[in-house]
Amino acid sequence: MGPAFRDLNKNGQLDPYEDPRRPVEERVEDLLSRMTLEEKAGMMFHAMIGMNPDGSLVEGESQVGSMSTSDMVHNKKMNTFNVLQGTKPRLMAEWYNRLQALAESTRLGIPVTIASDPRHSYGVSDNPVASFLAGDFSEWPEPIGLGATADPGLVREFGDIARQEYLAVGIRLALHPMVDLCTEPRWSRVYGCFGEDADLVSRIGYAYIRGLQGETLGPESVACMTKHFPGGGPQLGGEDPHFHYGREQVYPGDNFEYHLKPFEAALAAGTAQVMPYYGMPVGTDLEEVGFSYSKGVVTDLLRGRFGFDGVVCTDWGLVTDQEYVGGEVMPARAWGVEHLDRHQRVAKIIEAGVDQLGGEFYPELVVDLVRDGRLPESRIDVSVRRLLRDKFRLGLFDNPYVDPDAAERIVGNSRFRERGEYAQRKSIVLLKNGDRGDAPALPLAGRPRLYVENVDRDVAARYGDIVARPEDADFAVLRLRAPYEQRDNNLLERLFHSGDLDVKEPEKSRILSLLRTVPTIVDIFLERPAVIPEIAAEAIGLLANFGANDAALFDIVFGRFSPTGRLPFELPSSMEAVRNQKEDVPYDSENPLFPFGFGLTYTGP
């Protein structure tokens, strides 16, 4: 440890907050008593941070904000950061150590907590606003694929592997899991959920948190920030509240309580932190404001009814308009309080019971509120206590540094990759196997002539002889992804796959023509449910994946791995059925093509 964490005071002793032999609560109170208002305010902001490809700190103009790393740490006095892009594991660890050394040079040497969105997904869905591709980390299916395994033991193992990889590079706070129920199939964030059934999501979410945190939060844990309380799934028309047209969250089935069940499980698992969503409830007894602005949601429901005394952090960008690359401006998600100025917004969030503002860089707003008498400093102390407590429980004050050699050895090691490959295969769902009344089409045998689309031909060549024309093939293997509407309003909207779920012309006719030319096995990546009745009717084999590589698919197709996955949501039969279902009610579309929980095996249903 460096001197700021181990300096002896003038009496030749450690100050109480630096002494690991003392109880956490005593250390918290000692440090809190030493902090200035500016230092307290800085702790209440959870900003984005970048790193250079060589592992050096980003200084000067940053691609993720208007200030350098040193400005945020020394001038803004911030010490919780959401790391965006990464680099090689060794370089990430070196960057992290440089950042901790910078934090150590501040007046009190308060260590940094690094947070991250999910970064273990196989490379299909890449929305850096919500998650990252795995890169050098082990590759697993999307969270919705973990739900498709219906295997809490495997999910807990994933959490433990993610924990080890995160720890190796210094990530101590997971901005996940999402235990929202994807009861609205058009929602662009379905892939980040575990499913639409509250019992399934509760079991999987509990296991996920225990894998990352362990039985209790400690120096070997990665803290979880479970989101998005009180459930971000029932979006009006499936639109997302990152955008003003998606701000309304609705409960036409009067099913608000159903969406709370997975959060009860997360709290039972001991989740350290909770994030409310952007959405604004409409047609309920709650105030019609974004959830982080609502005292009824944060204080009365989460803290009062459920007894949660951990950290509550807002989702990103509730207060300040943000400018992105190219000059695009994203308005603050101040739904229902657009008329308030920034000071008033911050005051309302804190008065609601929130401890930390995500994606914001302006601690001076809190300082102003206290100095102007609009917020008591004692209220600020309540939040800072919670934030300090997690830093102490995670052991950051006792040893915040990591070993770059270990990071190189641990991240993406062969055993972790093997388990990720297993999970990819276990998550694949077999939906159709041959035409009704005929013999099963799968698994394929021998080395048939294969025509492939959207597949690595070198991978496919391990299983069959590749031909250039469908007319020359014994079988075709076609990989698709769930349809979405391409929206070009701005960069951020293009990252969120929203809108209709059915395949449009002329692509639908092209696909059906292929299916009528050669017996075809169709695999579709379901980042959201898809409406594919015609494709399902014409395919001789139909599979769903949730983030799986070509080898995983072909192992299923050729019987080297028997399918066991189950649909974590239903597949509707038409867009009319989608539009007629209720946003807050699970599996309620009329005559679904495949129901929730459906999945075939090679020995029967």
C-alpha 8/C-alpha 487 separation (Å) is: 59
315 is catalytic: yes
- The residue with tokens 């920030």 is 225
161 contacts 212 by C-beta, under 8 angstroms: no
Q: CA angle, corner 427, sides to 421 and 429, nearest 5? A: 130
Q: What DSSP line would sit under 211-226, residue for residue?
A: HHH-SS--TT--EEEE
SS3 273: strand
Q: Which residues pair with 330 in a beta bridge?
A: 322
Helix H, strand E, coil C: the string for 529-598 is: CCECHHHHHHCCEEEEECCCCHHHHHHHHCCCCCCCCCCCCCECCCHHHHHHCCCCCCCCCCCCCECCCC
C-alpha 169/C-alpha 163 separation (Å) is: 10
Quick one: which H or E segment has residue 208?
A: helix 198-213
547 contacts 523 by C-beta, under 8 angstroms: no
C-alpha dist (Å) from residue 394 to 388, 390, 447: 10, 6, 54
The verdict on whether omega for the bond into residue 177 sits within 30 degrees of 0, i.e. cis, is yes
Q: Which residues pair with 46 in a beta bridge?
A: 80, 358
Pairing between β-strand 541-545 and β-strand 429-433 as defined by DSSP bridges: antiparallel
Q: Which residues pair with 223 in a beta bridge?
A: 173
C-alpha 101/C-alpha 471 separation (Å) is: 64
Among the listed residues 117, 315, 390, 523, the single catalytic one is 315
Sign of CA dihedral 413, 416, 422, 427: negative
Nearest C-alpha neighbor of 117 from the set 73, 56, 173: 173
Q: What DSSP line would sit under 363-389, residue for residue?
A: THHHHHHHHTTSS-HHHHHHHHHHHHH
- The residue with tokens 């490379």 is 123
Q: What DSSP line would sit under 136-188, residue for residue?
A: TSPPB--HHHHHHHT-HHHHHHHHHHHHHHHHHHTEEEE---B-----STT-T
C-alpha 533/C-alpha 356 separation (Å) is: 46
Range 197-201, long-range pairs (CB < 8 A, 24+ positions): 197/568, 197/586, 197/587, 197/596, 197/597, 198/258, 198/259, 198/261, 198/262, 198/586, 199/261, 200/147, 200/150, 200/568, 201/147, 201/261, 201/262, 201/265
Q: Looking at 359-470, which runs of residues are DSSP E strands?
A: 429-433, 449-453, 465-466
Sequence-separated (6 or more) residues with CB below 8 Å from residue 568: 144, 147, 148, 150, 193, 194, 195, 196, 197, 200, 546, 596
C-alpha 224/C-alpha 247 separation (Å) is: 25
Catalytic residues: 315
